[in-house]
Amino acid sequence: MNQKSNFKYLFILALLSIVSLLEPQSAIAQERKTVKDYFLNLPASYVRMTTGGRQMNRTERSQLLERGGTIVDINNGYLRTTGDTCLHELAIFKRTKGSPLIAINTACTVGDSIAIVDPDRNWKDITTQVFPMQTLKTNNEMGVTIKLPRQGKVITIGEGDPAVRWQIVFKNDRFQAMKNF
């Protein structure tokens, strides 16, 4: 190899190294994150201490994970906290390309609420794009109950209310509703 070829070869290697550093995290890097990592890195707006109340910072969330009754199931991508007024559930749903969607259920005294966020898009809330919103309508003043799966891909809505029961199945990168299971 002559000196000119060596220079081109080294230049191409340096350029490829720089490009790889600038690329966003790959699906492989995302797979290494656990449900605990996602809970700690969530924007504060998704983690409340009380209904409509103060949001929890990262330190408070870390302490909450140490509280008795909290479930952190790394293998199944599921987390459930305990709380005085609100509890939080997280479940990881893997898309066909391997990237995660994070479902967050916040259950407070006035009912549950769900958000589906995409950590690859700076925690953008994509609930209305991928979740059947009609399933969240209730027939009482207390709101709807939501149960994220510890195993599998089925979210249950209205478990204790026969008039508002749905199973929401994660299929083809979207959540699909099946009425009255």
Ranges of residues in the chain with a pLDDT under 70 are 1-32, 50-53, 138-142, 159-164, 180-181
* HSE of 19, CA atoms in CB hemisphere, 13 A: 6
Confidence at residue 51, expressed as pLDDT on a 0 to 100 scale: 55
The CA distance from 149 to 139, in Å, is: 23
Nearest Cα neighbor of 65 from 46, 84, 39, 86 is 39
Confidence at residue 7, expressed as pLDDT on a 0 to 100 scale: 63
Confidence at residue 37, expressed as pLDDT on a 0 to 100 scale: 95
Confidence at residue 151, expressed as pLDDT on a 0 to 100 scale: 95
Q: Which residues pair with 106 in a beta bridge?
A: 88, 113
